[in-house]
Amino acid sequence: MSSPLLSDAFRARPLNLNHKIVDLSSVEILPDSHAWTFEANKYNSSCRGNMSNLESIPIIDLNDENAKELIGLACKNWGVFHAINHNVPKNLIDEVELAGERLFSLPMHQKLLVERTPNSMSGYGVVRISSFFSKLMWSEGFTIVGSPLEHAAKLWPHDYHKFCDTIEEYQKEMKNLASRLMGLMLGSLGVTKDDVKWVGAKDEPKERGPALQLNSYPPCPDPNRAMGMAAHTDSTILNILHQSNTSGLQVFRGDNTGWTTVQPHPGALVILLGDLMHILSNGSYLNPLHRAFVNLTQHRLSMVYLHGPPSSVKISPLPQLVDHHNPPLYRPATWSEYLGIKAQYFDKALTTIRLRNEFMDTDDDDSVKID
């Protein structure tokens, strides 16, 4: 069941696509609907255009005695890092991957049984941000909010328990890891989990369980002109991403460095900070712009745990980080409110809630934006 509160954000602004879902597995020539033109624009260069950048994102051992400090640095300089020693069992990750592959390899008419409706959050379809682009992305997605049971029972009426058990076990592991990461990230800002009431809050209402996004990128006949997932920042606190051993994820790192490919690191999970963490940290932690490219021969699957706050909480810069010299940069908003703002303004969402402080001599948002 999708969340009444969170999906309200979308009800006000339903996803409106003029294109029908295309079965990418049967396409031999890149159709015009999926052919992107990459201008010589710094944020929008061709996905393969920048292989010269060999810098790689930090790899952080969560058991390292300096993990807190290392994570703080990574959050300030990158907004993304690889986490190792995260304690999520490898066989569980493999099982979720298999479950995802099983789902995406179903015939299209079956996947459409669980198609995401324009104003709902969960189900099968193109990613929500598709409505901001005239071209379609070379990917298909499946969003799970809370229990996957309703959808799984439609896909596999006689055999859905295994899928549900695997997903639910993974959600549980992800929730624990997100909580551990929150402790480290806040700790590095000089704030404890106890200082922020909602962080350790026990169970959410049943109808708003943890959210998981599965993304499938089939092999593409013309990868240099296609886009797996267009550049965006995540509207969450943080995302925990697992990519199969095929590269595709890139993060944008300021004007000088440009796009950096996040090479899959065996056993690691990618931790990406979202817009809400940028707000909580009063702008000191980055929410990196990222995108995914596709390739000619290999199928790529990513699974992303979307970690957000309880829906009733107003997110604003942590009071401990704000004083006369460091005025709050953003006005408070609940997650649901913010999703609504994002659904309307996309890359301008943060600017929309940015406060104009008398101390500030610039009206520029310091998060990275698309031109």
Ligand X SMILES: C=C1C[C@]23C[C@H]1CC[C@H]2[C@@]12CCC[C@@](C)(C(=O)O1)[C@H]2[C@@H]3C(=O)O
Give the H or E element holding residue 80: strand 80-84
Min separation Cβ 211 and ligand X, Å: 6
Q: Considering the complex, state which of residue 97 and residue 234 has its C-beta at the smaller distance from Fe ion.
A: 234
Q: Which stretches of the chain bind ligand AKG, using CB under 6 A? A: 213, 215, 229, 234, 241, 243, 248-249, 290, 292, 302, 304
Stretch of 172-180, 231-239, 328-336, 349-357 contacting Fe ion, by CB under 5 A? 231-239
Residue 50, helix vs strand vs coil: coil
240 Cβ contact partners less than 8 Å away, ≥ 6 residues apart: 83, 174, 177, 178, 181, 269, 270, 271, 304, 305, 307
CA distances from 171 to 26, 175, 203 (A): 32, 6, 13
Min separation Cβ 249 and ligand AKG, Å: 4
Min separation Cβ 156 and ligand AKG, Å: 24
> Choosing among ligand AKG, ligand X, Fe ion, none, which partner's interface includes residue 71 (Cβ < 5 to 8 Å by kind)?
none
Residue 229 one-letter amino acid: M
Q: Considering the complex, state which of residue 78 and residue 188 has its C-beta at the smaller distance from ligand AKG.
A: 78
Q: Cα-flanking dihedrals φ and ψ of residue 61, to 5°?
A: -85, 115
Q: Which residue is nearest to Fe ion (CB)?
A: 234
> Choosing among Fe ion, ligand AKG, ligand X, none, which partner's interface includes residue 216 (Cβ < 5 to 8 Å by kind)?
none
Going 305 to 310 to 311 to 314, the CA torsion angle's sign is negative
Output DSSP code: residue 40. Answer: S
> Choosing among Fe ion, ligand AKG, ligand X, none, which partner's interface includes residue 143 (Cβ < 5 to 8 Å by kind)?
ligand X
Q: Considering the complex, state which of residue 82 and residue 307 has its C-beta at the smaller distance from ligand X.
A: 307
Min separation Cβ 96 and ligand AKG, Å: 14
Q: Considering the complex, state which of residue 211 and residue 268 has its C-beta at the smaller distance from ligand X.
A: 211
Q: Which stretches of the chain bind ligand X, using CB under 6 A? A: 121, 127-129, 143, 211, 213, 232, 234-236, 306, 339, 342
CA distances from 23 to 26, 87, 126, 220 (A): 6, 37, 11, 12
- Whether 180 is catalytic: no
Q: Considering the complex, state which of residue 48 and residue 314 has its C-beta at the smaller distance from ligand AKG.
A: 48
> Choosing among ligand AKG, ligand X, Fe ion, none, which partner's interface includes residue 250 (Cβ < 5 to 8 Å by kind)?
none
The encoded tokens of residue 338 equal: 């913010």
> Choosing among ligand AKG, Fe ion, ligand X, none, which partner's interface includes residue 302 (Cβ < 5 to 8 Å by kind)?
ligand AKG
Residue 274 one-letter amino acid: G
Min separation Cβ 277 and ligand AKG, Å: 14
Contact call for residue 275 and Fe ion (CB under 5 A): no
Distance CA 147, CA 143 (A): 11
Contact call for residue 234 and Fe ion (CB under 5 A): yes
Catalytic residue among 116, 128, 253, 300: 300
Q: Cα-flanking dihedrals φ and ψ of residue 173, to 5°?
A: -60, -40
CA distances from 214 to 18, 100, 190, 257, 353 (A): 23, 7, 34, 29, 29
Binding residues for Fe ion restricted to 67-126, rule: CB under 5 A = none
Min separation Cβ 16 and ligand X, Å: 14
Distance CA 135, CA 133 (A): 5
Output DSSP code: residue 330. Answer: B
Considering only CA atoms, give the Rg of the chain. Answer: 20
The footprint of Fe ion (CB under 5 A) covers 234
Catalytic residues: 300
